[in-house]
Structure formats: structure tokens, C-alpha cells
Structure 1
Amino acid sequence: MTRRLNWTIAIVLLLFAVPYYWLLLDNRPGDAQAKPVSIAQLRQLADSLPGPHPASVEMELIGWRRLPGNLLAAGSGLKRRLIGIMAFRLPVPGGRAIVIDSGITRQDADAMGLEARLAERQDKVDQAMNQAGLILITHEHPDHIGGLIAWAGRDSFTKAALNGPQKIEVGNQLHVPVAGAEKTVTGQPYAIAPGVVVIPAPSHTPGSQMYFVRLASGREYLFTGDIATMDVSWRELRARSQLAGSVIAPEDRREVYAWLKTIRALAAADPGLVVVPGHDTGAILAVDRPTGIRNGFNLSQIKAPTH
């Protein structure tokens, strides 16, 4: 009887425990090394272009769902976390604002199983993109680039600074041929506007890139996109689970860990750096750890879009 019970337990472990561990708990970072990106380098680039730096950071929460922490940060627990779909706006004194990420369409929200998608908030993001001087996208997934694709169907892409993979995704969605676009983003960090630096970081997707922002006040932010989906992702070096990052939406896991280590190294070098995760609305609006990010776009000076 005991022998049979032992075999039964062993079989159950093999059939359920081992797959469960690999799919949701496996968080081996391997030997990937942090990238050679420094705070000093990013600050020098941020100050290299003439003109006013952004004055502040605003966030618009467009929709959300709740998922187990283990899914988006392997081994972080079964507790369901609020996963926000967000866009950000950087007002520029005397100039046009900068928008980072663009929200999501109703069709994509339904496909992703969002609990809520607030159309009036997406309208505010559309208005912000209409007024913006520059639109930046962290990566080419529909909950980050989808709003831009829908909005751009009625306008041009002249103000959207897209890299090769992002252009390819837009072309695929709009059925527009894209010539000469690289299939992965490469290169060193570079300034794209006063106070704003692009950090090419192919990992979560071929077109993933982060943004370092140095405000006029000197406060600094790092927008990670889904390289660090949650705050715990970079603090504890927890990539997405194998289920999410290898099965559902495959990513370069080794490179994700390398960039998570880079984010943590940058935060260690600059304790005042505010790391902005791709979907952790709770961390962004935390009262006990203020980020200085305003909840909601201030569009009092923006006219409604004319298209």
C-alpha cells in the first residue's frame, strides 16, 4: 500500500507540480549581464539638446484587468494584481507635449479580456496625441501601440517616432506596405527631445525600448514598458512567467533579465530615479512611495481633435 501511495504521489508531482513550477514559478535569471548604460550617460544625453525639458508627468488609466502575480512576475505569488492599461503625457513649457504609449482599442480590450475600458479616457489620450509634438511607444503590443494605430488611421504618423519593428506592426495592422524597416531595434541610447532619451532594449519584443526622462526640476523617470511589467519585476529580478513569456507571448527571456538587471543598477546609482513599470498602476499611484505622477491628463488647454 505504501509503495503504491508513493508511486501515486510521484506521478501527481510529475503531472502537475513540475509543469506548474516551470510555467509559473521558474525565475532563473541565468548569467545575463546588465547593459553598459549609466545614469551619467543618460543625463548627458538628456541635457544635450537645447530647449525646455518636460515640466511634469501625467498618467491616464484607460482600462484594467486583474491577474495572478505569478503570471507577469514569476514566483511573486497567486494574489491577483491590478494590471492597468496606461498612457503618459509630458507637458513641455511653451511647446507641445510628449505622449508615451497610446492606449488600446475596444476590440483589443475585449480580446485581452479587460474588465474595463473607459472610452472617455481613451478619447483624452486621442486628444493628447492630436495636440502632441512627439509620440513615443515602448513596444509594439496592442495595449501600448493600439490606440496610436486607431488614431493614425485618421491622421499621419509624422509625430510618432517609431522604430523598425513598431513601423512593421503598424503597417501590418493598417495593411500599408513598410519598406526598409529593420526587424529589430538596435543601437545606443540617444536623445530624441530635450530631457528625453531613447534606450533601445530589444527583449520583451524586437521593438522594445525604454525612455529616460529628466524634468526641468531635475526629477528623473525611467519608462520601462513591459520589460518590467510590475514594480516587483525589477526590484526582485522577476521576468514574466514561462507561461506568459514563452508560451502566450514569446520574448527573449535572457535579454529581459539583462535589462531588468540594468534597471536595478540604474536605480541603485540614482535613488531618486522613478522607475515606471508597464502595467503596475498601484505602484505608480502609491501614497507611501510618491512618484510625482499626476493621475489624469490635464487637457484644459487642448481643443478636441478635428478629425
Structure 2
Amino acid sequence: MLKTTFAALAFCLASLTASAADEPPAAPASVRFAIVKTASLQTHEWLLFSGGRFEPAETAFSAFLIQHGNDRFLFDSGLGSQVDAQYAADMPGWNRPFFRYDQPVRPAKDQLAEAGIGPITRIVVSHSHWDHLSGLSDFPQAEVWLAAAEHALVNQPSQAVGGVWPSQVAGITGWKDIVFDRGPFEGFDASHDLYGDGRVVLVPMPGHTPGSVGLFVTTDSGRRFFFVGDVVWNAGALKTGAPKHWAARLFVDHDVAQTQAAIELIRAAMARDPKLVVVPAHDAKVQAALGLFPAWVQ
């Protein structure tokens, strides 16, 4: 009787093991992104980086929709539906000739709704300047992820050039600090792997603001992209490692030396992987070449 029982148990265990072995491995999560351009500004290249040409250049104000499997989040929020009121309330008058946007504004909220994309429950911000936080109020249900050093700025809003606008953060309660709990990644000191598979990874990039962050994304095609916020405004700066125009960097870069160090880390990552596509938050030419929402980059 005991022999029969042991034999039956052995058979069951063998069957379970064989079934598990026969199951195909789980398919890797689908990863893609879309560039949601909310507004633009016609300017000139020489105003965007030192050594730039005296040629027209378009600046974009964009949010980036990242999809990993069934999960979606925004990296930055672009200009939101309340930007005109925010601008009127908090942009200092003497700054307005230099920091502005052209009409029309097409908020990310409206574009996503038109495409039938459901509620956004997480927004990761590259940094806390006005043109990156404007759309937060359009997604009141979303957690807002940012570096701890950037959260300190949010807690002390001001109308200073490098400050956080009170009109954009009032009533926002879903703040969540990014914990850089992984080791170095692509030359950066620390990292946070959002899904644990190395395909959507945040890195700290202090300089432009104390808590600026960048985002590496590897899509299904194997292409790799690096969203660098405002470390540079235009990809042309990366050819020589040029900083922003001297007047701009004195006003908008919290720490000029740290910002330059971040530029060199980006250039080093590009040298290691010549196929890496660097996407500055405001480079309309780079973004248009990849395709704008509702198109997806895969």
C-alpha cells in the first residue's frame, strides 16, 4: 500500500514538473513611447546653446507617454489646460519676453482623451520648472514622482526663474520621492529600474535643477532612447558638449558646473552606444523625426 502511495506521489510530482517545463516562458513586456507635443515656440539656435547657428529653431513643450506592458505613465506633463492662467499669475513680467510659448496649446490630457487612452495614474517629472509641471493639474488622480532634492523645491514655491510656481503645485497631493535604489547605470552614480527588467530606468542628473532626472527606455525593437529633460535644450549642443547660451545658463541652470558634468555623462553614453538616441525635452526637430502622438515609437 505504501509503495503504491509513494509511486502515485512520485508520478504527480513528475507530472507537475513536466507541465511547468513545457510551459513557454513569459513573453517580455511590450515597451514603447509616444511624444505628446503640447505647444511650441519659434526661436533661433544660437539662443539655445553656445556656438549655435543664426538659424531658426523650434522649441517644443512636450510630455512623453511611456508604455510598459499594460502600464502607462507620463514623463513630464507639457503645458496644461491652465497654463495661460498659471503664466499670468506667476511668470515675472521681465521674464516674459524670454520665456514664453506660442498658441495654440494642446494639453496632453485632451490629446490622450481624443485617442481613448484611459486615466494616467503616474507622472514622473524630469524637473520642476513651469513648462514641465504645467499639466499636473489636468491629472488630479496621478502620483507625481520626482527626486527628493526636487521635492524640496516644491515645498518652497516661488516666482524666481528657477523656482516652482505656486499656481502649479497648489492642491497637488500625490507627491512621491524617487528612490534610487540600484547601483550605477550608464555612467550615472545610481538608478531606479521602474519595472525590474532594465528597460525603463531613471537616473539622477543634478545641475539644471538640484533634482533633475533622466530616463532610459529600450523599446521592443531594441532601440535605446535617453530622455534628458533640460540638461540640454537642443541635441546640437551634444556634438561639442556646448552649454546653454551664456545668459540663459546663468538664469536657468541651478549649478552650471554640475550641468556641464551631466552633459559629459550623456556624451560618454553616446560614445559607448552610437545608436543611443538622446531626446531633449524641447528639441522639436529630434521629436518630429521620431514621430508625434498618436504615433508610437516601438
TM-score (norm 2): 0.68
Check conservation: 1:204, 1:256, Cα contact below 8 A: yes
Q: 1:102 pairs with 67, 77, 87, which one?
A: 77
1:296 maps to: 293
Instruction: Tell me: CA distance 1:187–1:132, structure 2 relative to 1, closer, same or farther (3 Å).
Output: farther
**Alignment-derived partner of residue 147 in structure 1:** 135
Q: Measured at CA, do residues 120 and 277 of structure 1 come closer, stay the same or move farther in structure 2, by a change above 3 Å? A: closer
| Structure 2: distance between partners of 1:106 and 1:122 | 16
C-alpha separation between the residues in 1 aligned to 2:131 and 2:41? 12
The alpha-carbon distance between structure 1 residues 140 and 62, as it changes in their structure 2 partners (threshold 3 A), is same
2:22 equivalent in structure 1:
none
Change (3 A) 1:199 1:74: same
Structure 1 CA distance for aligned equivalents of residues 118 and 208 of structure 2: 28
> CA separation in 2, counterparts of 1:200 and 1:271?
22
> Structure 2 unaligned runs (5+)?
1-25, 92-98, 158-165, 181-187
Return the offset for 1:98.
Answer: 2.4
SS at 2:214's partner residue?
strand
Letter in 2 for 1:164: A
Q: Say if 2:233 and 2:281, in contact at 8 Å, map to a contact too.
A: yes
- For 2:258, the equivalent position in structure 1 comes to 255
Q: Give secondary structure in 2 for the equivalent of 1:146.
A: helix
Q: How far did residue 192 of structure 1 move? A: 1.8
Query: How far, CA to CA, are the matches of 1:267 and 1:187 in structure 2?
Result: 17
**In the superposition, relative to structure 1, how do residues 52 and 138 fare at CA in structure 2: closer, same or farther (>3 Å)?**
farther
Deviation of 1:77 (Å) = 2.2
Q: Pairwise mapping of residues 41-52 of structure 1 onto structure 2 (< 5 A)?
A: 52=28
Question: In 2, Cα distance between the equivalents of 1:98 and 1:51?
Answer: 21
Higher Cα Rg: structure 1 or 2? 2
Asked whether the 8 Å contact 1:224–1:278 carries over to 2, the reply is yes
**Runs of 4+ residues deviating >6 angstroms:** 126-129
Partner of 1:266: 269
- For residue 91 of structure 1, give the secondary structure of its aligned residue in structure 2: strand
Report how far residue 134 of structure 1 moved.
3.3
The answer on whether the counterparts of 1:53 and 1:215 sit within 8 Å (CA) in structure 2 is no
Q: Give the counterpart of 2:52 among 59, 65, 76.
A: 76
Matched, 1:230 2:234: yes
Map 1:18-97 onto structure 2 (within 5 A): 52-93=28-69, 95-97=70-72
- Structure 1: where are the runs of 5+ without partners? 1-49, 287-292, 300-307
- Summarize the alignment of residues 1-12 of structure 1 with structure 2, pairs less than 5 Å apart: none
- CA distance 1:121–1:189, shift in 2 (3 Å): closer
Residues in 1 aligned to 2:87 and 2:113: alpha-carbon distance in whole angstroms: 16
1:254 shift after superposition? 1.1
Match 1:124 to one of 87, 102, 111:
111
Q: Match of 2:84, as an amino acid?
A: R
Using the TM superposition, give the Cα deviation of residue 270 of structure 1 relative to its aligned residue in structure 2, in angstroms. 0.8
Which TM-score applies when normalising by structure 1?
0.66
CA deviations on 1:265-295 (whole Å, 9 max, x unpaired) are 1111112111111211112223xxxxxx331
In the TM superposition, what whole-angstrom CA distance separates every residue of 1:51-79 from its partner, at most 9, and x where no partner exists? 84453221111111122222221121232
Question: How many residues end up aligned between the 2 structures?
Answer: 235
The verdict on how the C-alpha distance between 1:121 and 1:191 changes in structure 2, with shifts beyond 3 A counting, is closer
The residue identity in structure 1 corresponding to 2:268 is A
Q: 1:58 to 1:177 in 2, by over 3 A?
A: closer
CA pair 157-132 structure 1, distance change in 2 beyond 3 A: closer
SS of structure 2 residue aligned to 1:145: helix
Once the 2 structures are TM-superposed, how far is the Cα of residue 251 of structure 1 from its aligned partner?
A: 2.5
Q: CA deviation at 1:238?
A: 1.3
